[in-house]
Amino acid sequence: MPKLSHYDRSGRARMVDISAKAATTREAQATAFVAMTPAVLNALSANPKGDPFETARLAGIMAAKKTAELIPLCHPLQLSHIDVELMQCENGIAISTSAKTTAETGVEMEALVAASVAALTIYDMCKALERGMTVSDVYVLRKSGGRSGLYSRPKKHKK
């Protein structure tokens, strides 16, 4: 079993030394979902706080750029691209993000932070109508680049 890289021999948390790694193109895609009632979904376009989709999209982009400030052992990365897309579904808002860089370490955390903050922004924009919304399904869909290569999350099979 591989060891966790963010711990030293004494078990103390540490930032991984990536200085010997080559800078390569790295990409990651992540997702999140905000479940809400049909009444809230129908009221999205009339939200008095503004457009929840555009606000959440911008919040996700801004958050991705701040990942190293939020997650203690993440390396600061120069992102070459970040994208946040939101889609209204029959039971909520599906969020998908993608991040890209050329660096010595991956951008999975940036894609995850973008998805998470976009979802939390949707919650914030709509909480006056429904406090029971649920943020769920935050995970990496795909990542590429670096020593570990390509990862694609297996598709879930419906029961």
What strands lie across the sheet with 24-35, from one edge to the other?
Answer: 79-89, 92-103, 24-35, 134-144, 151-152
Cα three-residue angle 149-5-152, rounded to 5 degrees: 30
Is the CB of residue 108 less than 8 Å from the CB of residue 100? no
Catalytic residues: 124
63 and 117 in contact (C-beta within 8 Å)? yes
Residue 159: its pLDDT value, please? 39
In order along its 159 residues, the chain shows pLDDT tens digits of: 566 677 677 777 777 878 888 899 999 999 999 999 999 999 988 878 789 999 999 999 999 999 999 999 999 999 999 999 999 999 999 999 999 999 998 899 999 999 999 999 999 999 999 999 999 999 999 999 988 889 999 887 553
Domain extent listing, the chain = 24-144
Q: Which fold has domain 24-144?
A: Alpha-Beta Plaits (3.30.70)
Q: Report the distance separating Cα 83 and Cα 14, nearest Å.
A: 30
| C-alpha 85: how far from chain center | 11
What pLDDT is stored for residue 47 in this prediction?
78
